[in-house]
Amino acid sequence: MRRADRLFLIIHALRGRRTALPARSLADTLGVSLRTVYRDVADLQLSGVPIEGEAGVGYVLRKGADIPPLMFTADELESLVVGTRFVRAFAGDRLSAGAQAALMKIEAVLPPELRERSSRTRIYAPVWRDEAQATFAARIDRLHAAIEGRQVLRLDYRDEAGRSSEREVEPLCLAFWGGAWTLGTWCRLRRDFRNFRPDRIAGLGETGECFADRPEHNLDAYLTAMRGYYAGMD
């Protein structure tokens, strides 16, 4: 468990308590040593979290300092749950893990009736990941990282007809179309914006070059170009 998640769960465990929570109970819940709990609580206190108590006695949040529950309507919560399920099913492992962790944190501070509602949501996106799908998820993570790092990529690409071409591209965004992903790029070969399907990339490599955010080639310009393209198809 990441330290940030552990600190969050300590605060959550102390919410609304009238009696001190023993450090041993926190240690058992978190699967860590007493020493780790003592250190984490001390760090939270130093950062300004109003925790009172001491080792051997237990801890409580100072009266009047409780953290209010998050205010979501039932429909808002259902949207979060469904969105998380779709991210887990179709995104890369990095985003899937992040979405699941975020939902766990949200549910941890929900009132009981909303927490129960979240478990009853009947819209699913089943996760079936064989070896090929796991490899594809890793590719999505790799493309996502390249977008974040503004890394120029070299693609060995196969189009719909199976024709091969090599491209150097500046990756700008990933889009999911309910059945297929596309990578939005500035293509240096065509000197224009182009979309590539990750499942048709036969080879993917980094050039070691990073690209600058130029107004004529950036994400805003790409989105404007795509809106114009699809408007022209009406």
Task: State the Cα–Cα distance between residues 21 and 35, nearest whole angstrom.
Answer: 16
Q: What DSSP assignment string belongs to 154-219?
A: EEEEE-TT--EEEEEEEEEEEEE-SS-EEEEEEETTTTEEEEE-GGGEEEEEEEEEE----TTTSH
Q: What are 34-91's pLDDT values in tens digits? A: 999 999 999 888 888 889 988 788 999 886 555 555 667 788 888 888 998 899 889 9
Percentages of the chain per state (helix, strand, coil), in multiples of 5: 45, 20, 30
Report pLDDT for 228: 86
Task: Say if CB 7 and CB 40 are below 8 A apart.
Answer: yes
H or E segment to which residue 59 belongs: strand 58-61
The mean of the pLDDT values for the chain is 87
Residue 71 DSSP code: -
CA 132 to chain centroid, in Å, comes to 22
> pLDDT of 89-137, one tens digit each?
899 998 988 888 777 777 766 777 777 777 788 888 888 888 888 999 9
User: In whole angstroms, what is the distance from residue 120 CA to residue 112 CA?
Assistant: 13
pTM of the full structure: 0.69
Average pLDDT over residues 143-169: 96
Q: How far apart are CA 78 and CA 108, in angstroms?
A: 15
What is the Cα–Cα distance from 140 to 91, expressed in whole angstroms? Answer: 7
